[in-house]
Amino acid sequence: MASIWVGHRGTMQDYPGFSPSVDAEAIRKAIRGIGTDEETLISILTERTNAQRQLIVQAYQAAYGKELKDDLKGDLSGHFKELMVALVTPPAMFDAKQLKKSMKGVGTSEHALIEILTTRTSRQMKEISQAYYTVYKKSLGDDISSETSGDFRKALLTLADGRRDESLKVDEQLAKKDAQILYNAGENRWGTDEDKFTEILCLRSFPQLKLTFDEYRNISQKDIEDSIKGELSGHFEDLLLAIVRCARSMPAFLAERLHQALKGVGTDEFTLNRIMVSRSEIDLLDIRAEFKKHYGYSLYSAIKSDTSGNYEITLLKICGRDD
């Protein structure tokens, strides 16, 4: 069965000659010994796909009566621990936990919320919502509602519903009509009709939006980005700009997120771990190419100069190669 979490442009492939019980035993030895054998842990967990890692988790539980993630948590520390635990977490569950972390504690990490909700497909969102409810006994929508407000909240809830059209077919008439609606909702009136922006940008497919933005340019002589920046503000503006970027090129949008996470003083490991793990079987090859194209140096070299130790080794293995 083709998983909705696997694409064709990932850096991770199924490991040939895979045996979950052999791997589980090797991991157990690596954890149980005097001092942890991190090298073994890294080589197994970064050379198996998530589907294979889930089978290792099951074999581990069956053989030792323990949750692999708990043993990893007990044995490892820091960002390396977070990353290894992420690798053994099923994708929908991982995203659910990332969303919860984005809304927990002091302040909300709006950029993480925006990134996750704009880059997941409708089918992925449905699974994430189920996982969220399973773990937290609260609906994702309820938590988003209590942590956000206004048009930003409305748009996030629309995205969390997973109702974006996924078809690859584009409708030229609809694009012309939507472009005119967007123009009338913003540039062409006093004040802005935010709901129209939310409706079109959160529900139309990305290929459809791309065509709509071309039509928009014809009508208004302006890029949709410029209109959004001029008409809207705050997190709602950030969210709509993220959708536009995803429609134009999702790998470029994620490359930009990684660049922000890695540049300047300090590293945003929360974002770095999330993108590296969640895109490693979907489009990390394309993200790497966009990174190199936009910034003139490779994602690999950026990770290398910004991280260290086992954390660095693991990220570089997920990254794959230097470009």
Q: Where are the beta strands (DSSP E) in the chain?
A: none
With 0-12 / 13-18 / 19 or more C-beta atoms within 10 angstroms meaning exposed / middle / buried, residue 225 is middle
Residue 2 reports pLDDT greater than 70: no
In angstroms, rounded to a whole number, what is the distance separating the alpha carbons of residues 323 and 320? Answer: 9
Give the homologous superfamily in CATH for domain 251-319: Annexin (1.10.220.10)
**∠279-281-283 over CA atoms, to 5°?**
55
The set of residues, in sequence order, having a beta carbon less than 8 Å from that of 198 and lying 6+ positions away, is 151, 154, 155, 158
Average pLDDT over residues 298-317: 97
Reduce the DSSP state of residue 121 to 3 states and report it: coil
At 55-113, the pLDDT tens digits run 999 999 999 999 999 999 999 999 999 999 999 999 999 999 999 999 986 666 999 99
Mean pLDDT across the chain, nearest whole number? 95
- Delimit the CATH 1.10.220.10 region(s) of the chain: 20-88, 91-161, 177-248, 251-319
Give the homologous superfamily in CATH for domain 91-161: Annexin (1.10.220.10)
The answer to whether the beta carbons of residues 306 and 259 sit under 8 Å apart is no
**CATH topology for the 177-248 domain:** Annexin V; domain 1 (1.10.220)
CATH class as words, domain 20-88: mainly alpha
* End-to-end CA, the chain: 32
Average pLDDT over residues 40-52: 98
